[in-house]
Amino acid sequence: MNASASLPLARLAALALLVTGCPSRDNGWVEAATPPEATVLTASEPRVQRRVQVRAAPEPGEKLEFSMLNLGIETTRLAWSLPDGNIPQVHPWLRVRVFDERDERLVKEHVLVFDRPEPTLPWPLSFGPDLPKPLREFEATYRIEFERQGPPSEGTIQVDWRLEGSALTPYPDMKHLQLTLTPL
């Protein structure tokens, strides 16, 4: 086989690898999100907990299964504010932890140390259940904990965030699957 004949075969093989590694056009993503929330943490009240119920299930009468479920905390604002504007020697840290309440397992943790009292770039915190096989239904409650360092750090930390989720279905018409994220 000459080099010019093998070039189309190489392109075809590369295309086959790309197609098998990505969801096909026959699949669809169902997305949901909680309403945005502003959480303020102070040295005297350094910890806030929120609970969110996640449920993915087919529409009544459907026998649909889904193969992936992605969850994540999207922060749109992270800011450390000081009452007098002077930067103290002790800079606070913020820790976000996610627990699966079915077994109290720590699912994800992220720690950020503030280096200046200005808005910090938002960061996503992704997590989700490992699905060893496609599921017909999934339901779990997650506890999200926001915690900042208490004294001797000063000021307030504001976190504007929301929980987002997406599930992969075998149909491009996403109306077959319901995904709900309900704050509790």
Q: List, for residues 124-138, the tens digit of each pLDDT value.
A: 889 988 888 888 999
- Mean per-residue pLDDT over the chain, rounded: 82
Give the residue-averaged pLDDT of 160-177: 82
Record the pTM: 0.80
pLDDT reading at 16 higher than 70: no
Q: What is the pLDDT of residues 28-84, one digit of tens each?
A: 888 999 999 999 999 889 999 999 999 999 888 887 888 889 999 999 899 999 988
Burial 13-27 (b: 16+ CB within 10 A, else e): eeeeeeeeeeeeeeb
Task: Domain ranges for the chain, please list them.
Answer: 26-183
CATH number for domain 26-183, candidates 2.160.20, 1.10.287, 2.60.120, 2.60.460: 2.60.120
Give the per-residue pLDDT at 10.
36
Phi, psi of 11 (to 5 degrees): -65, -40
